[in-house]
Structure 1
Amino acid sequence: MHSTKDNLQVLFEDNHLIVVNKRPGDIIQGDKTGDAPLLEVVKEYIAEKYNKPGAVFLGVVHRLDRPTSGVVVFARTSKALARLNKMFSERETEKIYWAIVKNPPPKLEDTLTHFLKRNSKQNKSYAHIKEVPDSKKAILHYKLLKKLDNYYLLEITLETGRHHQIRSQLSAIGCAIKGDLKYGFDRSNSDGSIHLHAKRLTLTHPVQKEEICIEATPPVDAVWNACN
């Protein structure tokens, strides 16, 4: 089920920003599939709710991969957009993810540092232990939160924001994410999702300067439900 203006899960909104819980399968911005992007869905929601004639301004601050779910922030003014962009690029936000993996991680908690090299043709990033040409340093911290019947729930704190970073780095330690065929999981999820969820985002409000912490509940399915 994709997000529409009528079923949008809004987690926070004011005059400056709007934060939604992205469903797996939603795309943030338009792509070659021609599917309605979340950006346009949120614009429709704002236009209807606030009875706004004409074009609605909405700025994309960051992205989540199509098969993932969770917290996504959009800016409602150009001033908020500029400040949020700066915050994200300077890593002044805290991003916490949940990932469900089949294999137990090598340690209960650890910091992973890799050099990721992106292959645009394959739309995939390869994790290397040492720096290679055109690679970017990627750092994340993980800890094991829970052992499920057949899987393990990991909590990930991102220090850098690279293309497919969590998917690539977890795959490199033998912990491919449930449903993620591209990074080595053995079968796909029936809805095309992967079990990676942007759980919590903490940032400073771009205008009011107060810290806000926004949490998103994972999608409803048997495996995610077992995590609560």
Structure 2
Amino acid sequence: MQENHDIQDNEDLYEHYRFVATEGQEPLRVDKFLMNFIENATRNKIQQAAKAGNILVNDIAVKSNYKVKPKDVVRVVLSYPPHENLLVAEDIPINIVYEDDDVIVVNKEPGMVVHPGHGNYSGTLVNGLIHHIENLPKNSNERPGLVHRIDKDTSGLLVIAKTEHAMAHLSKQFFDKTTERLYHALVWGTVENDSGTIEGHIGRSQKDRMQMTVYPDGEFGKPAVTHYRVLERFTYVTLVECKLETGRTHQIRAHFKYIGHTLFNDERYGGDQILKGTTFTKYKQFVDNCFKVLPRQALHAKTLGFVHPTSGKVMQFNSEVPEDIEACLEKWRRYAVNSIEE
């Protein structure tokens, strides 16, 4: 659980990170604990912060060898505001597919981070949006215009709110699960059923804080539902269409790993390894070539539908599958045909 704040406390320190240890937390040094949570952080930097009195557990400064226990509140406080709250407008090309007085629909390129955060303080979609339009409304996390987001290396459609009314209206639609969101994903293995539903609470992994994991008994995390149908099968991988009923962090990536079909070239979840196929050197070379053509997880937000916050009209947008995914699919199509012929 992470929250970033821009309010200053009594000692002129700003809270940059706040994490609450889960009930299942094993005793773990606070420097190791924070390394699991904070992307791109080094142990040396965390230890220096502890030395300076900038790491607090339950509001008391601790040394880096402090053992984190269940329900501990761990905070990192520094003498300057978080970078992500010092938003700078940047003239960044944005692929806008629709815009009116209330909303903007963008087709996000792969590799673009949606909003500033640790290690990504510029070049994000939000930096470009605030250059394009002033006074975007802020959501509950102080992020201008955002009512939902997609991962850095996922491409596809996003809707942005331009007014407070649009923000409230769209946020409620996402909360009520009335929006339409269809994704295309290439996953490892042969998905046997032509269609199906994956259910299971999704929460942060206890072992790797950069991953989300499925808790089927619901002991941790939040409820998540993904419907899917198979579009094409290519011997060792399958192209699926996913319909999101909920919108949890890494939902499709975590759900498909859970059922044994990790997304193709999803580095964070192990999909950048050869998970299905033969041991032939020629096959390994073929997969490596696919990874080079598509150097990211094979996930694209293809369709987005919502009710317009002012007109009440049902809006639906579709985007083309990006060139990198299409090139990878073509390689697998040819491979599948050749496999049959052999």
Q: Distance in 2 between matches of 1:79 and 1:86?
A: 11
Residues 55-99 of structure 1: CA distance to partner in whole angstroms, max 9, x if unpaired?
A: 342511101011111001111111111111111111110111110
- Matching residue of 2:248: 162
Q: CA deviation at 1:150?
A: 5.4
Is contact 1:105-1:174 (8 Å) kept? no
Partners of 1:119 and 1:32 in 2: CA distance: 19
* Whole-angstrom distance in 2 between the partners of 1:181 and 1:6: 27
RMSD: 2.4
- Max Rg structure: 2
State which of 91, 101, 116 in structure 2 corresponds to 1:15.
101
Mapping of residues 13-162 of structure 1, within 5 Å: 13-33=99-119, 34-44=121-131, 46-47=132-133, 55-57=134-136, 58-119=144-205, 122-132=209-219, 134-148=220-234, 151-162=237-248
The total of aligned residue pairs comes to 216
SS at match of 1:137: coil
Q: Are 2:245 and 1:182 equivalent residues in the alignment?
A: no
Equivalent residues of 2:264, 2:298 under 8 A apart: yes
- Tell me, what secondary structure is at the counterpart of 1:35? coil
- 2:321 is matched with which residue? 218
Extract unaligned runs of 5+ from structure 2: 1-89, 137-143, 274-287, 333-342
2:94·2:125 contact (CA, 8 Å) conserved in 1?
A: no
Aligned equivalents of 2:254 and 2:113: distance in 1?
20
Residue 80 of structure 2 aligns with which residue?
Answer: none
User: Alpha carbons of 1:149 and 1:20: their partners in 2 closer, same or farther (altered >3 Å)?
Assistant: farther
Aligned residue for 1:83, secondary structure, equals helix
Question: Structure 1 pair 60/94, CA: closer, same or farther in 2 (3 Å)?
Answer: same
Alpha carbons of structure 1 residues 70 and 131: separation in structure 2 relative to 1, 3 Å: same
2:126 alignment partner AA: L
Is the CA contact (8 Å cut-off) linking 1:127 and 1:168 kept in structure 2? yes
1:206 aligns with 2:309: yes
Question: Does the CA contact (< 8 Å) of 1:22 and 1:71 recur in 2?
Answer: yes
Give the structure 2 partner of residue 52 of structure 1: none
Amino acid at match of 1:207: T
Q: 2:45 — aligned with what?
A: none
Using the TM superposition, give the Cα deviation of residue 184 of structure 1 relative to its aligned residue in structure 2, in angstroms.
2.5
8 A contact 2:190–2:235 mirrored in 1: no
Which is helix-richer, 1 or 2? 2
Deviations 1:147-191 (A, max 9, x none): 247532100011111121110010111111111122221349457
Distance in 2 between residues matched to 1:162 and 1:6, nearest whole Å: 28
Summarize the Cα distance change of 1:143–1:94 in structure 2 as closer, same or farther, 3 Å threshold. Answer: same
Q: Is the 8 A contact 2:187 2:264 kept in 1?
A: yes
State the SS of the aligned residue for 1:72. Answer: strand
User: For 2:234 and 2:98, how far apart are their aligned partners in 1?
Assistant: 31
Q: Secondary structure at the match of 2:323?
A: coil
Task: Return the offset for 1:219.
Answer: 1.7
Higher relative contact order (CA 8 A, sep 6+): 1
Task: Give secondary structure in 2 for the equivalent of 1:59.
Answer: coil
> How far, CA to CA, are the matches of 1:147 and 1:10 in structure 2?
33
1:186-227 per-position Cα deviation (integer Å, ceiling 9, x unaligned): 349457521111110111001110000011222212125679
